[in-house]
Amino acid sequence: MSNLAVLPIIIPLVSGILLAFFHTKTPFVRHAAKLLSVMSTGVAAYVFYYVLQNGTVTLETGGWEAPYGIVLVADLLAVTLVLTTNVIGLACVFYAPYSLTEQKERYYFYTFFFLLITGVSGAFLTGDLFNLFVFFEVLLMASYALITLGGEKVQLRESIKYVLVNLFSSIVFVTTVAFLYSVLGTVNMAQMAERVQEVEQQGILTTIGILLFFVFATKAALFPLYYWLPKPYTVPNPVVSAMFAALLTKVGVYSIIRMFTLVFIHDTTVTHELFIWIAGFTLVFGAIGALSTNNIKLIIAYNIIPAVGFMVMGIGIYNKTALSGSVYYMISDMIIKAALFLLAGAVAHIVGTSDLRKMKGLIHQLPLLGWLLFISAFVLAGVPPFSGFIGKLMIMQGGFADGEVAIVIIGLLSSLLILYSIMKIFVRGFWGEKDENITIDRKTANALTWPVAFLVFFTVLLGIGAEMFYPVVDEISNQLMNPEIYIDSVFKE
Amino acid sequence: MEIIMSVVAGILFAAGIYNLLQKQLLRIVIGTVILSNGAHLFILTMGKLKRGAPPVLEYGISDYADPLPQALILTSIVISFGLTSLLLVLSYRAAQENNTDNMEKLRGNHDE
């Protein structure tokens, strides 16, 4: 059954290529995309179930044995994230027809959408560092196309910066792979882990590790490398922003988790201490950014940054509880960020502006959307019993257990700022007198609300049903703390 | 040989970054091309330049060149080729829409 590992990559890839042939027949493509997305999610759910029951699935592509060929490793962390990706894709594909103009849909939106999912799933599943670079490029290429889709003035202007930053970090990534290859003589992650263990991680490896961390930190938008993120994320269509916010930064965080729980683990005094510092700064600066603006989309885009800070904080603390917290928070944050961007897009679409100063009293016309925003704010800030709380609680517990009190307090305080920044949207935009100037197209409003409700329902489920999901996350962090499990699953017998 | 190549890669990196810091869009694109070529040369240098025979499968040969860096470079060249063409089209369109190819003027403001 090892072919299961490739299915989450192949299905979106083939779907994207197929839909490219029919791009002029918009109604057909819409329905086909919905169908294919449901299928892809179903398969991802099955792969998740299979891995949960039977343990890690590895596929040696083309029959080349592990250290020589490219391996795909579907361990529990990877398949969980692939499943989350597909759930978000499902919500986005149902939201897209109402939010995009037909012209944008014709210009291969669905093709690039599926290619983005291909790249993200591939990056989660690959067990080879150079292949990780290739899948990064696949998803970045799709994202370049999506961010410029429509070709507006502001889109073109911001996308150049986005492309250049990502291009530069990709070049640094290739250079780092070359460094690692010259030192370790392999690009297979499991074999790298073995060899680092043999030499007990000398200084040069720590240096390469930090270089690699900065590559992933650029992708994940950590302090001080987050400056490129907020503006480009506000210019494309809300569906595209939602996909970017949910998936792209998380691929960076996933890569950090993978490299720093598998390969560079023998000398944690420098690297993991650095992570804690960077996480602290990321939390503070991201929260300040979110408070600094009146643009709904920009507020939410800035909120991506402290969330990434929390995840990296869990990696920096590096014990089992904190890692479980990071993974739990990552899953919940992927879903809630997609929901928030779709929500902001819906508000901007209905009202016609994303400036908070130009709207008020929307709750009278859009009650469901208002309360969904209210719940999302609670999820994001980590108010119990929602899912953000459980992730943060575990990170904090891990922090206290390791005596990292200062960072935990910074985390708690920045949570308050995050709550305030989102509540600002609720209080200023939704509260107050009814604004008679705003007319609402009921049908579109409903169609835009349901995908958001679907995603918020999932985060609420993740919070209330924590009993049910906790064993999975516990098993993930167990696998992360014991890299031998990963290595053994790649080099069977 | 490796030393010369390292120096060449270093010069390419320096020239690439210098061009990347310019204001004109075309120069920035050229900077990324030079930078990625520097990276490719760097991979080749890291995998040892010459170790005897070419990496062709023949029995009895123990001293063959390392094929992996070359495979990596090939993949990387294809990717950077695609990216360069995309970036050229993108910067052409952006310069046309915004009536400038100067990065200073492409900064944007808060009123949008």
Pseudo-torsion of CA A98, A103, A104, A105, nearest 10°? 60
Task: Name chain A contacts of B75, Cβ cutoff 8 Å.
Answer: 130, 134
**Lookup: tokens for A108:** 């291969």
pLDDT at A69 (0 to 100): 81
Name every residue whose Cβ is closer than 8 Å to that of residue A222 and which is 6 or more positions away in sequence.
A278, A279, A282, A305, A308, A309, A312
Alpha-carbon gap, residue A461 to A140, rounded angstroms: 31
Residue A1 has a pLDDT of 59
Question: A231 in the Ramachandran plot: left (φ > 0), alpha (ψ -120 to 50) or beta?
Answer: alpha
Burial (CB < 10 A; 0-12, 13-18, 19+), residue A211, is: middle
Query: What chain B residue is nearest to A67 in terms of C-alpha separation?
Result: B68
Alpha carbon of A337: minimum distance to chain B alpha carbons (Å): 23
In tens digits, what is the pLDDT along chain A, a chain of 493 residues? 578 889 999 999 999 999 999 888 888 999 999 999 999 999 999 999 999 998 888 888 887 877 778 889 999 999 999 999 999 999 999 998 888 888 888 888 999 999 999 999 999 999 889 999 999 999 999 999 999 988 888 888 888 889 999 999 999 999 999 999 988 888 899 999 888 888 877 788 889 999 999 999 999 988 888 888 888 888 888 899 999 999 999 999 999 999 999 888 887 788 888 899 999 999 999 999 889 888 888 899 999 999 999 999 999 988 899 999 999 999 999 999 999 999 988 888 888 888 888 887 888 888 888 899 889 888 888 888 888 888 899 999 999 998 888 889 999 999 999 999 988 888 888 887 777 777 777 888 888 889 999 999 988 888 888 888 889 999 999 999 998 888 888 887 5
Considering only alpha carbons, which residue of chain B is nearest residue A144? B86
The predicted model gives B9-29 an average pLDDT of 93
Nearest to A171 among B25, B36, B46 (CB): B36
Query: pTM of the prediction?
Result: 0.93
pLDDT for B109: 59
d(CA A317, CA B100): 48
User: Under an 8 Å CB criterion, which residues of B touch A?
Assistant: 20, 25, 28, 32, 35-36, 39-40, 42-43, 46-47, 68-69, 72, 75-76, 79, 82-83, 86-87, 90-91, 93-94, 97-98, 106, 108, 110, 112
pLDDT at B50 over 80: no
Write out chain A residues lying below 8 Å of B43, CB-based. Answer: 174-175, 177-178, 181
Predicted local distance difference test score (pLDDT) of residue B108: 66
Dist CA A425 CA A72 (whole Å): 43
